Every structure is written in C-alpha cells, then in structure tokens.
Amino acid sequence: MAQMKQKETCSCQESCCVKTKHRDSGEYKSLVNRLNRIEGQVRGIRSMLEEERYCVDILTQVSAVQSALNAFNKELLSNHIKTCVVKDIKSGDETVVDELCDTIRKLMK
C-alpha cells in the first residue's frame, strides 16, 4: 500500500506542486475495493462488446459503472471534507472552501 503524507503548498508556481494525502488503512482499502469492482465491471463491458451482446444490455452495464463511480466520488468527497477541509479551515486556510466549491461544481456537471 502506497502511503502518502500531506504536503504543504510550495512557494513556486502551482503547476509544479502536487498535494498528497495519507489515508488510513480502512479508507484506503475501501476506496481500492470500490475501484477494483469498477475495473471488473469495465472489463465485463469490454467482454460484452467482444461477444456482440445487445446494445441495451451493454448500456445497462455502463449505467451501473457510472453509479459505482458516483458512489466512489461520494465516499472520497465525504472523507475529503471530514479531513482535509476541516484541517485547513481550523488552521486558518479558508481557500479550501473555494476549492471545495469548484470540485463540487465539476462533479455536478
């Protein structure tokens, strides 16, 4: 399991800085399990296409993958708010609120 620690923003231009976040083993395992299931679903869709399955059946599976990705996003966003956002606000960095609003806007497209 790759463990990462939260890095502070450097003084150089933002494009060269990458924020990271250490996740506890429970959060990491839950997110990876979700991604593994999604990966399996996508492989299943490819197999359906190769097997020349009916369009509606494939579209139904694509919809299931989209739902699974939405569930992944909800879990990750919730964890982000409860950890990163709260930590930054407590330390006086309120720019995280604008970042959160931008992120939610992107997710709601």
- State the CATH number of the domain containing residue 86: 1.20.58.1000
Phi-psi region for residue 20, left (φ > 0), alpha (ψ -120 to 50) or beta? Answer: beta
Q: Residue 102 pLDDT more than 50?
A: yes
The total of structural domains in the chain comes to 1
Distances 17 to 4, 9, 49, 57 between C-alpha atoms, Å: 15, 7, 40, 43
Instruction: Tell me whether residue 70 is in a domain.
Output: yes
- Please compute the mean of the pLDDT values over residues 8-26 and round it to a whole number: 70
> How high is the mean pLDDT of the chain?
89
Q: Give long-range contacts, CB 8 A cutoff, 24+ apart: 9-17.
A: none
Q: What is the pLDDT of residues 27-76, one digit of tens each?
A: 999 999 999 999 999 999 999 999 999 999 999 999 999 999 999 999 99
Instruction: Tell me whether residue 15 is in a domain.
Output: no
Q: Output the pTM of the full model.
A: 0.79
Range of the domain at 71: 24-107
Instruction: Tell me whether residue 100 is in a domain.
Output: yes
Q: What pLDDT is recorded for position 15? A: 54
Instruction: Tell me whether residue 37 is in a domain.
Output: yes
Instruction: Tell me whether residue 3 is in a domain.
Output: no
Are 20 and 7 in contact by the 8 Å Cβ rule? The answer is yes
Instruction: Tell me whether residue 69 is in a domain.
Output: yes
Are 38 and 55 in contact by the 8 Å Cβ rule? The answer is no
